[in-house]
Every structure is written in structure tokens, then in C-alpha cells.
Amino acid sequence: MWLQIKLALEQSTTRFLTHFAGLLPGLVAFLLAIIVSIVIAIVLAFLVRRLLKSLQFEEHLSQWGLSSMAEWSPMNRPTLLVSRSIALLVIVIGFVIGIAAFDAQWTAALAQTVLAYIPNIIGATLVLLVGAIVARFLGRSVLIGAVNMNLQYARLLSVGVKWMVIVLAVAMALDHLRIAQGIVELAFGILFGGIVLCLSLAVGLGSKDIVTKSLERDARRSSSEVYEDPLRHL
Amino acid sequence: MDFAATTEGTRQGIERRSEHENLETDSISRQVRETTAAIDSADLVVGILGGVDHDGFTGICDGLRTLAGSPRVAVLQAEAATGQPISGAGTDGGPSLFFMSWPNADTAGAATVSIAAAYHSVFMAAEQLQTRACCVFSSQIEGTKPAWIGQFAQGLLENEADLVLAHYARHKFEGLLNVSIISPLMRSLYGKRIQNPMGPDLGTSQRLFRPVLTAEEKNGGGGVHALATLAPSAVCGNLRVREMYCGPRVYRPTDWTNVSSLLSAVLTPVFLEMERNAACWQRVRGSAPVPVAGERAWVSQDSEKLDVQRMVESFQLGNRELQEIWSLVLPPTTLLELRKLLRLTPEEFHMNDALWARIVYDFALAHRLRSISRDHLIRSMTPLYLGWAASYAREVQDAGPLDVEQRNERLAAAYESAKPYLLSRWRWPDRFSP
């Protein structure tokens, strides 16, 4: 019996070592691909940083109204964000090449999945970009309009509008990326529905007196200003 | 009626009209052509817009009948001015008046954009009829005598001036936008001391309204505003500008919910014009008065105590909440001075003239550079304008007419003194950007 156990162990060890020996070249190739891609990524990131710096990329970004990109960037430098993104992309490509060394079938399947997903990534990026721009524009419009209407909670309104648009854009982007679609839809619905319900209850119940007084004050002001205020602008 | 003269006039009118067919491109052009087909030509076109009531209209017509010689005058009237249109009329001897109902002239209560379109349509009618001069009356002026109207138009017909503007007798709290920005800015930029560079009651010669019309059509109407472009075009073209004293103008009541829209509608064309004429105003130094005709009238400056608290509160709210936007437009020194004003109570609130002049210049520059959306830019200026208005109102509360004149003169001088600041920032925006 011990002989049979010994034989089984020897066979499994042989199978494992044989299989491992078969994988070893692929593993070495994988590690080599990762190392080479890291080196290329570092060099490319350095070149991209130099290029963007010479093109005054960060200054142009603030002129284009995208200075908030600096807030998302490491060390508040969009140049670093771009260069590191490119470096990450190169490393991912190296990873994919490394995977191909194990089994061509795996690579084909992976490549197919990745390529099919790229339009979603592009679409989601565009949605986020447009959402950020629209959020900024609307937030600013609401802020200026509310200040000109003498509303003390102007900034709160502006921030609220901005974040609502951003949340909408993020939900749309996640939906586009097909990430936890059901959860995102449900969470978004609950969030927005909850916000609208809260506002309705606040205005209808909690702030009824404030709104009434505010409207009365505005009505008194608009009727008295037309006839009594001597100031004429134009 | 002299049939020979009419036939000759018809022939000449047809010839002139054919030369200008290529100018007619839009619906206003079509309407102008249809309505002016009733007469062949005229020496003077007078547009009476919707701000003039029936008495004012009658006074203007009486004034036109005092014109020397026998000019043919086409009167374009808004239906609101008379209650119902009057068509075709002429008088024997003296000026011949031809009345035409003019839908584009009905601007009572309209936004300033449609007012610009009304002026544009009157200029087009003048061009269509090949007149020597064109007058537009848009506001109700108290105590307007017929002789004033006659003098107003006579100078244009006799080629003594190319642009005639009304110099109103004004209460200290009237025309604040003009007092605070338009008049001193135009004075500082173009070197001419004009009380109301944007009218609205004005007269132009063919030498002025024709290039303005061409510029409007070349730009497709985009950004060229008839009222904002007349005075700068006249000064930059070395044309003769004159003012006429007249009585007090009736102003519309202030709509406090719409001050930002008013600022946007008025200042946008002014800043665009500034950008367009940069090559002209950068060479100008100092200013000179323009000839003024007529007898000056004064109005009582008495008024009730004005409560500036609301305007100060608007300014303070803007100062707290709009710093992020103002920091894109104003340099740190200006922002610091504005923050100091936060500590002042309404009773001691005062905005320095030099500070205000620099703020206006900074906004004009930001408008040119498109630092932020232009509409947002001008609207964000509203709290600053209300702050200035509060400071001004507090200062002139108990002032007499001469004190008010001196006060306005000091403000205009501040604009002129700050012009080098504007020139530096305009020429090197990167070096001086906030």
C-alpha cells in the first residue's frame, strides 16, 4: 500500500513539475513583458511630461475653464495625471502581451473583451467630461442668478445643482460602463427621488412660513419699488 | 404738389433704389421696402418709437413743421405713439411731412435688443429713401418745445453736424448706468465729453448712419448695436458730434428683479464696441467737450431720503459669494479693497472712484479675453454696480445740481486717470492677469 501511495505522489509531482515546466517559459515571458513595459512606461511618462510642460498644458487648461481637472490630479498637476495615465496604459498593454505568452486563446478572448469594451470607456469618458462642464456652467449660472436675487442660500443652491448634475453624469457613465447597472439605477433613483421628496416636504411643511414671508416681502418690494424708488438706471 | 418735381423725384428714387437692392436681405429689409414704397425719397427720416406718447408725437410733428426750407420729411411712427396710424399727409409750403406706420418702432416696454432692431430699421428706411439725415426720438421729454425739435434736425440738414445727441436735464438719481459707466467710459476712451453717448434721442447724418448700417449687415447684426456704435464711430471717423440741451426725460421705473439683465443688454454691446475700436481709443489722451446748443434746463434735485441698505446688502452678498468668479477678473489688490468694504455699514459705505473705474476696465478686459462666459461675466458685475449706486446715492443725497455735476466730473476724471492701467492690461493681458 505504501508503494501505491509513493507511486501516486511521484506521479502527481511529475505531472505538476511537467505542467510547471511548461508554464515556466510563459511565466518568464510574462514577467519580462511587465518589466519591459514598466521601463517603457517610465520613459514615455517622462517624455510626455516634458512635452506637456513645453506646450504650457496646465496654463491652457485653466484658460479653457478646465482648471478643476487640477483638483483631481496628483499634486494638483494635470500634467502628472496625463503622464501617469499613459504610463498605466503602457503597463496594461505589457500585461496583455504577457498574458498572451501563456496561452494564445486566453489573449484572443481577452483582446476581444477589451476591444469590445473600449467604446463604452470612450462614451463614459465623454459623458463625464460633458457632465463636468455642464455642472460647472449650471452651478455658476445658479450662483450668479441667486446672488442677484439676493438669496442668502445662493451658494447652497449652486453647489446642490452642481452636484446633482455630477451625480447624474457619474450614474450615466457607470451605466455606460455596464458596472453594477441594477444597483446604480436603483441607487440613483432612490437618491434623486429622495432629494425631490425632501425638498417638497421641506417647502410644503417645514419652510412654509419662510416661503410665505419671502413671497410677501418680494411682492411688497416689487410693488413699492416701482412707485416709490427714485433710482432710475437707464 | 409740383408734378414735375414729383416725377423727377420718382425717377431719381427708382435709380437710387436699384443701386441698393443688394442691401435688402432680411425681413426688416422687406418691411422697409414695402412701407417706404409709398414715397420716392425724402430729405429727413424721423423715427418716433414707442416710448413717445401722443402729446410727445404732436410736439415732434409741430417741431418738424418749423424746419427752414421745404424739406421732405418721412415720419415713421409707432402705432402706440398715436393710437392709430396716420397715412400719407403733406402740407403746402414749408416742410412736407409723410407719415408711415412703422411696426418696428413699437418698443414700449421692449428689451434693449429689440430697441436696437428698431433703430436699425429706421436707419434702413433712411438708406432706402436716400435721406441726408435721420432722427430717432424714443423717450418722453418733458417741456419739449417745437423749436427744440426744429433745431435738433436743422443742424443735420444744414450739414453742421453728423451726430446730434440730447443733453437731458437730469435728476441726480436718474440714468445711473449712464452716469456710472457709459458716459465716463466713452469719455475716457474716445476723448469726447458726451452726456448720453447711447442716446436714445439722437440724429445722424448720412455720413454716419450709412457705415453703421453697413457694419451691422456685414456682421449679420451679431454684436453690432446701433446705439452703442454711433458715438464711437462718429469720434473714430472724425465726424462732428454735437449735443442739444433739452428738458428732463421720463425714465421707466426700475425693475429690481432684472438689473442684471439690463446690465447684460447694455454693457455687452459697449464692451464689444470697445474691442472693435481698440486701435482708435488707444491713441486718445484726455478729453474735450463737444459743442452744445440750446438753453440748459435744470430740474429740482430734491428727493426723499433714499434707503441704500438693500443695495449695500446685495453688494455684500456678492462680495461673499462671488469671490471665486471675481478672482478670475479682478486683480488681488482690487479684491482686497472690495473685501475691506464688507466691514462698512450702509451709513458709512463708500466706493472709491478710482476703484470703480478699475473694476469697469477689468470687466471690459475680461469680456475681451472671454475669461468666463460673457453673460456670466456681466451678470456677476451686478452686485458691484449696486454697491457703486449705493455709494453714489449716499454721497449725492443732499447735493444740489452743481454739486452733482462736480461729483460726476470727479468720476469721469478718475476714469481718465485710470486709462494707463487699462492700456497696460489691454496690451499685455498675460503679464497683468489675476
Please determine, for residue B247, whether its predicted confidence score (pLDDT) is greater than 70. Answer: yes
**Are B63 and B98 in the same domain?**
yes
Range ranked top by mean pLDDT from A30-39, A100-109, B10-19: A30-39
Distance, in angstroms, between A25 CA and closest chain B CA? 59
Average pLDDT over residues B221-242: 84
**Are B221 and B319 in the same domain?**
no
Distance, in angstroms, between A118 CA and closest chain B CA? 34
Please determine, for residue A169, whether its predicted confidence score (pLDDT) is greater than 80. Answer: yes
Q: Which of the four pLDDT bands, split at 50, 70 and 90, describes residue B9?
A: very low
Residue A157 lies in a domain: no
Note which residues in 391-410 of chain B have CB less than 8 A from chain A: 393
- Provide the edge-to-edge strand list for the sheet that holds B292-293: B96-101, B72-77, B44-48, B133-137, B202-205, B163-169, B241-248, B292-293
Residue B209 lies in a domain: yes
Average pLDDT over residues A157-165: 91
Mean pLDDT of chain A: 82
User: How many contacts, defined by CB atoms under 8 Å, are there between A and B?
Assistant: 89
Residue A95 lies in a domain: yes
Average pLDDT over residues A79-87: 87
**Are B250 and B369 in the same domain?**
no
Domain with B414 in it: 309-427
Please determine, for residue A201, whether its predicted confidence score (pLDDT) is greater than 90. Answer: no
Instruction: State how far the alpha carbon of A155 is from the alpha carbons of A169, B184, B323, B332, in Å.
Output: 21, 34, 11, 22
Please determine, for residue A57, whether its predicted confidence score (pLDDT) is greater than 60. Answer: yes
Distance, in angstroms, between B280 CA and closest chain A CA? 27
What grid cell was written down for B30?
A: 422687406
Q: Which residues of B touch A222 (CB under 8 A)?
A: 256-257
Please determine, for residue B241, whether its predicted confidence score (pLDDT) is greater than 70. Answer: yes
Residue A184 lies in a domain: no
* pLDDT score of B120: 85
* pLDDT score of B17: 43
Q: In the block, which residue shows the cell 467604446?
A: A119
Judged by average pLDDT, the poorest of B92-96, B138-142, B324-328, B376-380 is B92-96
* pLDDT score of B5: 43
* pLDDT score of B219: 67
Judged by average pLDDT, the poorest of A118-127, B16-25, B357-366, B419-428 is B16-25
Judged by average pLDDT, the poorest of B10-19, B253-262, B317-326, B376-385 is B10-19
Tell whether B308 is within 8 A of chain A (Cβ): no
Judged by average pLDDT, the poorest of A15-19, A88-92, B31-35, B303-307 is B31-35
B253/A155 CB distance under 8 A: no
Q: What is the pTM of this model?
A: 0.78
* pLDDT score of B1: 38
Q: Which of the four pLDDT bands, split at 50, 70 and 90, describes residue B2?
A: very low
Range ranked top by mean pLDDT from B120-129, B373-382, B396-405: B373-382
Residue B420 lies in a domain: yes
**Are B23 and B170 in the same domain?**
yes
Q: What is the chain A residue with the closest CA to B139?
A: A234
Residue B187 lies in a domain: yes
* pLDDT score of A227: 45
Cα separation, A171 vs A165, in Å, equals: 10
Q: How many separate domains does chain A show? A: 1
Tell whether B350 is within 8 A of chain A (Cβ): no
Please determine, for residue A214, whether its predicted confidence score (pLDDT) is greater than 60. Answer: yes
Nearest to B257 by CA among A233, A145, A149: A149
Nearest to B318 by CA among A162, A155, A160: A155
Q: Which of the four pLDDT bands, split at 50, 70 and 90, describes residue B341?
A: very high
Average pLDDT over residues B97-123: 71
Residue A62 lies in a domain: yes
Please determine, for residue A226, whether its predicted confidence score (pLDDT) is greater than 80. Answer: no
Domain with A97 in it: 1-102
Please determine, for residue B189, whether its predicted confidence score (pLDDT) is greater than 90. Answer: yes
Residue A15 lies in a domain: yes
Residue B304 lies in a domain: no
B176/A231 CB distance under 8 A: yes
Q: Which residues of A touch B255 (CB under 8 A)?
A: 226
**Are B260 and B359 in the same domain?**
no
Mean pLDDT of chain B: 82
Name the residue with higher pLDDT: A152 or B144.
A152
pLDDT tens digits, one per residue of B259-307: 899 899 899 999 999 999 999 999 999 999 999 988 888 877 776 677 7
Residue A156 lies in a domain: no
What grid cell was written down for B118?
A: 428698431
Tell whether B304 is within 8 A of chain A (Cβ): yes
**Are B38 and B78 in the same domain?**
yes
Distance in angstroms between the alpha carbons of the first and the last residue of chain B? 69
Please determine, for residue B417, whether its predicted confidence score (pLDDT) is greater than 90. Answer: yes
Residue B253 lies in a domain: yes
Q: What percent of chain B has pLDDT over 90?
A: 42
Q: Which of the four pLDDT bands, split at 50, 70 and 90, describes residue B18?
A: very low
Tell whether B302 is within 8 A of chain A (Cβ): no
Judged by average pLDDT, the poorest of A61-70, B45-54, B129-138 is A61-70
B178/A234 CB distance under 8 A: yes
Q: How many separate domains does chain B show? A: 2
Residue B434 lies in a domain: no
ipTM exceeds 0.90, yes or no? no
**Are B329 and B357 in the same domain?**
yes
What grid cell was written down for B295?
A: 438753453
Residue A167 lies in a domain: no
Please determine, for residue A70, whether its predicted confidence score (pLDDT) is greater than 70. Answer: no
Q: How many other C-beta atoms are found inside a 10 Å radius of the C-beta of residue A192?
A: 14
Q: What is the chain A residue with the closest CA to B253?
A: A226
Q: What is the chain B residue with the closest CA to A64?
A: B371
Cα separation, B216 vs A205, in Å, equals: 54
* Contacts of residue B127, Cβ cutoff 8 Å, sequence gap at least 6: B20, B23, B209, B210, B213
Name the residue with higher pLDDT: B1 or B140.
B140
**Given A137, A140, A150, which is nearest B325 (Cβ)?**
A140
* pLDDT score of B25: 43
Residue A71 lies in a domain: yes
Residue B280 lies in a domain: yes
Cα separation, B202 vs B45, in Å, equals: 12
Cα separation, A17 vs A10, in Å, equals: 10
Q: Which of the four pLDDT bands, split at 50, 70 and 90, describes residue B16?
A: very low
Domain CATH for B94:
3.90.550
pLDDT tens digits, one per residue of B22-62: 444 456 666 666 766 767 788 899 988 877 777 778 888 88
> Last residue of a domain, which of B293, B323, B351?
B293
Q: How many other C-beta atoms are found inside a 10 Å radius of the C-beta of residue B100?
A: 20
> Last residue of a domain, which of B258, B293, B328?
B293
**Are B210 and B355 in the same domain?**
no
> Last residue of a domain, which of B293, B324, B358?
B293
Residue B224 lies in a domain: yes
Please determine, for residue B158, whether its predicted confidence score (pLDDT) is greater than 50. Answer: yes
Best of B201, B321, B377 to mutate (most A CBs within 10 Å, chain A): B321
Tell whether B225 is within 8 A of chain A (Cβ): no
The DSSP result for A99-166, as a single string, is HHHH-HHHHHHHHHHHHHHHHHHHHHHHHHHHHHHHHHHHHHHHHHHHHHTT-TTHHHHHHHHHHHHH
Instruction: State how far the alpha carbon of B198 is from the alpha carbons of B51, B186, B193, B228, B266, in Å.
Output: 15, 10, 13, 6, 9
Q: Which of the four pLDDT bands, split at 50, 70 and 90, describes residue B407?
A: very high
Name the residue with higher pLDDT: B46 or B143.
B46
> Quick check: B180 and B187 in contact, CB under 8 A?
no
